Structure 1
Amino acid sequence: MTEFGYFLSCEDFRPAQLLRQAEQAEQAGFRSLWISDHFHPWIGRQGNSPFVWGVIGALSRTSRLPVETAVTCPTVRVHPAVIAQAAATSAVLLEGRFRLGLGSGEALNEHILGGSWPAADVRLEMLEEAVAVIRLLLTGEEVSHRGRHYTVENARLYTLPEIPPPIDISAFGPEATALAARIGDGLITMAPDAGAVRRFRGTDGSRPAYGGLKVCWGRDRAEAVRTAHRLWPSMRLPGELQQVLPTPTHFEQAAELVTEDMVAGAVPCGPDPEEHARHLQAYVDAGFDRVHVSQIGSEQQGFFDFYRDSVLPLVTRDSRDVPDARVTR
């Protein structure tokens, strides 16, 4: 059966609020946590962007749920050797309940040190080398590496978990999915794309696929649509804009092209459990192992009550009738 987790949005909330949401998610029946890793929010109205590794350290003491970064970019802003150390420490603190989600990143977060932002094919090449470096360091051996993009000299991690954390790869599009299939322990994506899941798994049906979904619960659907449009219009920007725009101001300018109707058609909004369940069921039908849901806006307790009482029971009941919803591990 597909499991459901909660997606902690660092762009929208301060650290203490995120820790409280993790507790609320566990109480509401969610089984795991995703947490975003950004230097900037997408737009200024979101208003936050704490350092993810500090929040994960606090989560290790306030939540019993598994935690995964969704996703960290280990290529430009932070060297992969440093990400390896952060991931190893997180896995120790969480006692094996940590997965490392990695992706090729966005200029919004990665250009801040003044370097150029590479083309898409170069970003994927950098990600592949970065993952190789991280996996080497997680063995606990001393590593020296001189590759096309990264140099590591006499590096060794001394604080290590008993088992290295799995590394899942975020993919949008066929090239990234092919890379995820080659180097990833699992797939991360934000659309219920059954074809991407099949391409990722290939002949290995045991590798998990994890999806994410933004929602906006509220008692009034029209008001919920306005909230989603005000805070997350960037979700509906086309093509590579999300990867190449450099600042929240640029995203705000581009988002002027996004209408409320465009958001309403993509984001389940309001108080109808059937609407929310339909969107979740699309991931179940596509064969995802886990779906992480993120509530847009300040109505957090109402959302958790709504999902606990009305949505999760509906979807978990329906998913038992889907023969391919659960993948044998």
Structure 2
Amino acid sequence: MTDYGIHCSHEQIPPAELLAAVVAAERAGFDAAMCSDHFSPWSERQGQSAFAWSWLGSALQATTSLSFGVVNAPGQRYHPAIIAQAIATLGAMYPGRFWAALGTGENSNEHITGGLWPRKEIRNARLLECVGVIRDLLGGAEVSRDGLVTVDRARLWTRPETPPPLIGAAVSTETAAWCAGWADGLVTVNAPEDHLRTMIAAYRDAGGRGPVCLQVHLSWAPTEAEAEAIAYDQWRGNVFAPPVCWDLALAEHFDVVAEQVPLARVREVVNVSADLGRHVEWLRSYAALGFDRIYLHHVGQELTGFVETFGAKVLPALR
């Protein structure tokens, strides 16, 4: 059976409000939660970007049964030994309730260190080195490396009995197949069903293990016009495929390139509808593709109505 979770967008919502929303989501019947780990929002209209790791400690403490995940990019803004320590600490405090998805990142978050933004193939190689460092540290080894990342005699003194899963983050079939070589699962974002089907197949055919997870961007409101306005205001800067979304540096850059984006284009990446039955149909279709976990990301900045309504009417219909 598919689990249905809530995605908590730190780029859009202040952390205290996001904490209240995820507590309400647990009460409303959501099974799980995941969050973004950004230094910068995608748009100045979104206007937030709290530190995900601080929030995760509070969220795990404030809830009782939800599992939590975070999408993280080690290697530039974060040293992998520090991420290993963060993963180990949450895993030790909340056994079985935490996972981390690892990806190559976006320039909008990573440029703050002042370092060069590497080419994609170098970012892939760097991520693979980081995964090795993190796994070895979680396994209890003392780690030294002299490669794309440098580590000198690092050791984790606090470790969980069972290391949390390290999930691969991917948006292409090529990356999904590559993740199969090192990941404990796969997470991606909503796309046309044919593409999602080929991504799952690419991951599984390459030997990929563990759950396959989907983050679904959606916009719901009592009227269609309100749902469209929310999606257009908050998410029109997020319609660009790689390499644009990887390589732009500032929120204002996304706002500039999104000035002429039509609503129809936003509808291609966000499931927009005031009809709850339509949302149920979309989510059932994703589940039928074989996703083990589906995380619902309402792209609006007010989550109360979404949590209450989907908890009362959408989740029961899916189950």
Tell me the SS of whatever aligns to 2:272.
Answer: coil
**TM-score if structure 1 supplies the norm length?**
0.91
8 Å contact kept, 2:183–2:209: no
Corresponding residue for residue 123 of structure 2 = 123
Give the corresponding residue for 2:52: 52
Matches within 5 A, 1:1-329: 1-64=1-64, 65-69=66-70, 71-146=71-146, 148-191=147-190, 192=193, 193-202=196-205, 204=207, 207-316=210-319
How many Å apart are 1:141 and its aligned residue? Answer: 2.1
User: Deviations along 1:264-322, whole A, 9 cap, x unmatched?
Assistant: 34422343112211221232121100000011224422111221222112223xxxxxx
- Answer whether contact 1:190 1:212 (CA < 8 A) is retained: yes
Q: How many angstroms apart in 2 are the aligned matches of 1:73 and 1:93?
A: 22
* Structure 1: gaps of 5 or more residues: 317-329
CA distance in 2, matches of 1:39, 1:185: 26
Residue 234 of structure 1 contacts residue 255 of structure 1 at CA under 8 Å; is this kept in 2?
Answer: yes
CA distance in 2, matches of 1:58, 1:23: 11
Counterpart CA distance in 1 for 2:208 and 2:271 is 30
1:150-172: CA deviation from partner (whole Å, max 9, x where unpaired): 12111110111110010001012
CA distance in 1, matches of 2:37, 2:208: 29
**Secondary structure in 2 matching 1:282:** helix
More displaced, 278-287 or 200-209?
200-209
1:263 is displaced (CA, Å) by 1.6
CA contact (8 A) 2:173 2:198 kept: no
Structure 1: distance between partners of 2:184 and 2:202: 14
Partner in structure 2 of residue 319 of structure 1? none
Helix, strand or coil: the match of 1:182? coil
> Once superposed, which parts of structure 1, at least 4 consecutive aligned residues long, lie more than 3 Å away?
203-206
Structure 2 letter corresponding to 1:182: G
CA RMSD of aligned residues (A): 1.5
Aligned equivalents of 2:110 and 2:208: distance in 1? 34
Deviation at 1:95, TM superposition (A): 2.6
Say which SS state the counterpart of residue 197 (structure 1) adopts.
helix
Please tell me whether the aligned partners of residues 180 and 208 of structure 2 are also in contact (alpha carbons under 8 angstroms).
no
Structure 2-normalised TM-score? Answer: 0.94
- For residues 13-71 of structure 1, the C-alpha deviation after alignment (integer angstroms, 9 at most, x for no partner) is 111111111111111111111010000001111011011110011112101211100x1
Q: Give the secondary-structure state (helix, strand or coil) at the position aligned to 2:180.
A: helix
Unmatched 5+ stretches in structure 2: none
- Measure the CA separation in 1 of the matches of 2:152 and 2:227: 52
The 8 Å contact of residues 96 and 161 in structure 1, kept in 2 or not, is answered as no
Aligned to 1:324: none
Q: Give the whole-Å Cα distance in 2 for the aligned partners of 1:121 and 1:280.
A: 34
Distance apart, 1:235 and its partner CA: 2.5
